[in-house]
Amino acid sequence: MSAAVSPSSGRPYGLAAVCRVWNISRATLYRHRTPVAARPEPRRRGPTGPMPDEDLVGRIRAIISASPFHGEGHRKVWARLRLAGVRTSRRRTLRLMRENDLLAPSRTGAPKGPRKHDGTIIPDAIDVMWGTDMTSPWTREGQAAVFIAIDHHGGECTGIHAARRGTRFEALEPVRQGVRRCFVSADGTRPCFPW
């Protein structure tokens, strides 16, 4: 189409005018003009460095196998390459180790299980879910720590405790009070859980 001659001017239309009418860029046109088989394989730009990738992977494998440790990260391998006289970049070392599955095993995190609850904190019955909280008011003697335990169903206070210091043992006291009050039998010898 760009080589076609315009009937009014007698000159060819030109590639820029055709691309403007078709609303495509010239780079897209050139890319589609060459067949896929004739296109060069994409590769990393810039110089490859003093050593080809295959030789560098061999050196990396040798460093990893000579190491007394089980897993080596790319930074240690890169540093050992530099000590051996092989000058390469840290990113290239990371890329080659990643492509050839030479990276040290890393933790993937805790296994994801089912959610603990459906997102609500108001249960259907009493004594199913409790919440604890602490506040620190000022008194004449100084600062005090006040701990409370509240039943999430009805908002009833199941235990309260005030102390000078807010330690973990003091924080558990309202929970102990609530368990004693709600789940111990009348004679006080055994717990009587409703479930």
Cβ neighbours around 91 below 10 Å, total: 10
Q: What is the mean pLDDT of the chain?
A: 84
Record the tokens describing residue 79, joined without a space. Answer: 């540093």
Cβ neighbours around 77 below 10 Å, total: 24
* Residue extents of the structural domains in the chain: 1-41, 53-99, 130-183
- Render pLDDT for 57-67 as a digit per residue (tens, 0 to 9): 999 999 999 98
Return the higher-pLDDT residue of 72 and 131.
131
Which of 159-186 are b and which e, b meaning 16 or more Cβ less than 10 Å from the residue's Cβ? bebeeeebeeebbebbbebbbeebeeee
pTM of the predicted model over 0.75: no
At 77 the pLDDT is 92
At 78 the pLDDT is 94
> Which of the given ranges, 14-18, 105-109, 110-114, 187-191, has the highest pLDDT on average?
14-18
Mean pLDDT of the region 124-146: 91
At 9 the pLDDT is 74
- 192: pLDDT confidence band, cut at 50, 70 and 90? low
